[in-house]
Amino acid sequence: MTILTSTFLFSLSITGPIFIVIFLGIYLGKRQSIDQPFIETSSKLVFNITLPTLLFLNISQANFQQSANFSLIATGVVVTIVCWLLIELAAAFWVKSDSDRGVVVQGSFRSNMGIFGLAYCYNTYGDQGLTTAALYLAVLTIVYNILSIITLNRALNKNLSLADTLSGIVKNPLIIAIVLALPFSYFNISLPEFAMKAGQYFANMTLPLALLCIGASLDLKSLRNNSTEALLTCAAKLILMPTVIVLIALAMGFKGIELGVLLFIACAPTASASYVMVRALGGNSTLAANIIALTSLGSLFTTTIAIVLLSSLKLL
């Protein structure tokens, strides 16, 4: 077996399972085996129960120093803000509609970390990948929300206050789970075995259930609307963001699991929450949905290519 073949098979072992579950979701959605009420109920279950449980278990029972990687977190925050500024400048020239500009900018930098990002990390590094990514995810969730409000308020001439945004962040189940888990990790407190087993039942549901729902909710026909803006956003999200963060990470000496976490969070498609925020503010929700669909499928290909390149250089 050649090095290229073994590298490709390694990358396929990471993205392949996600491919299969998403396309199973598409198939079940077409056959109406998964309907809209199921998708909505399951999405709420994942966001409010199973994903917070997954994050709590992994952080609470992990080494605190591994979770609180401040150089990793600082790098992600700085790169996100830099990319946001670059995309804002580019969108001012490339996107004619003011209202669409905010949707494009948000879709270009806001990652679906909780599902795709964690799935990539887990498939590559196991529980260690989840632990390393968890606190990073919490901090970036706050950054994403603040930048999104700034962008959409300006583009849509809305007045959603920063206080409302911060209130939503404080009530975010993912952030609550991570904050509650940190004392257990810091003081090395072990959970009872029965609690671990019960929690694991919920945690194990997270990724397959979420990926099935993503597949079933994809509407590929709608991509014909606003295709130019959606493609520009896809290029920024899946090519610009990962490229910039990998180059900066390499310049700072990151490699292995740290480089992998930075890469996989950046490679994740546009977050579903971006659609919710655009719709709530009266923006172009169709464009927001198209961006999510296109980046969700495109991410599987671009992530595979990134893994092949970095693995062949023995950086992951």
Instruction: Map out the domains of the chain as residue ranges.
Output: 3-312
pLDDT of residue 168: 67
Region of poorest pLDDT, from 108-122, 178-192, 276-290: 276-290
Confidence of residue 239 (pLDDT cuts 50, 70, 90): very high
pLDDT tens, residue by residue, 143-188: 888 888 788 877 777 665 667 667 767 777 888 888 898 899 888 8
SS in 3 state form for 173-222? HHHHHHHHHHHHHHCCCCCCHHHHHHHHHHHCCHHHHHHHHHHHHCCHHH
Identify whether the C-beta of residue 194 lies closer than 8 Å to the C-beta of residue 255. Answer: no
196 pLDDT exceeds 90? yes
Q: Which two tokens stand for residue 52?
A: 């917070």
Amino acid at site 252: M
pLDDT of residue 289: 79
Ramachandran angles phi, psi of 125, nearest 5°: -120, 0
1 pLDDT exceeds 60? no
Confidence of residue 282 (pLDDT cuts 50, 70, 90): confident
Region of poorest pLDDT, from 1-5, 139-143, 207-211: 1-5
pLDDT of residue 61: 81
121 pLDDT exceeds 70? yes
Region of poorest pLDDT, from 15-19, 90-94, 148-152, 163-167: 163-167
Buried (b) or exposed (e) across 30-54, using 16+ Cβ within 10 A? eeeebeeebbeebbebbbebbbbbb
- DSSP letter assigned to residue 278: H
pLDDT of residue 43: 85
63 pLDDT exceeds 80? no
* Residues 119, 188: Cα–Cα separation, whole Å: 26
pLDDT of residue 226: 59
What is the rounded average pLDDT of the residues 24-46? 89
Q: Nearest-CA neighbor of 134 among 43, 51, 243?
A: 51
pLDDT of residue 120: 92
Region of poorest pLDDT, from 199-213, 238-252, 268-282: 268-282
pLDDT tens, residue by residue, 41-52: 988 898 889 988
pLDDT of residue 275: 78
65 pLDDT exceeds 80? no
Identify whether the C-beta of residue 299 lies closer than 8 Å to the C-beta of residue 268. Answer: yes
What is the rounded average pLDDT of the residues 272-281? 75
pLDDT of residue 285: 78
72 pLDDT exceeds 90? yes
pLDDT of residue 161: 62
Confidence of residue 89 (pLDDT cuts 50, 70, 90): very high
What is the rounded average pLDDT of the residues 135-147? 86
Confidence of residue 223 (pLDDT cuts 50, 70, 90): low
pLDDT of residue 165: 65
Q: Nearest-CA neighbor of 302 among 220, 240, 251?
A: 240
Region of poorest pLDDT, from 141-155, 183-197, 216-230, 283-297: 216-230
Higher pLDDT, 28 or 149: 28
CATH code of 3-312, in short, is 1.20.1530.20
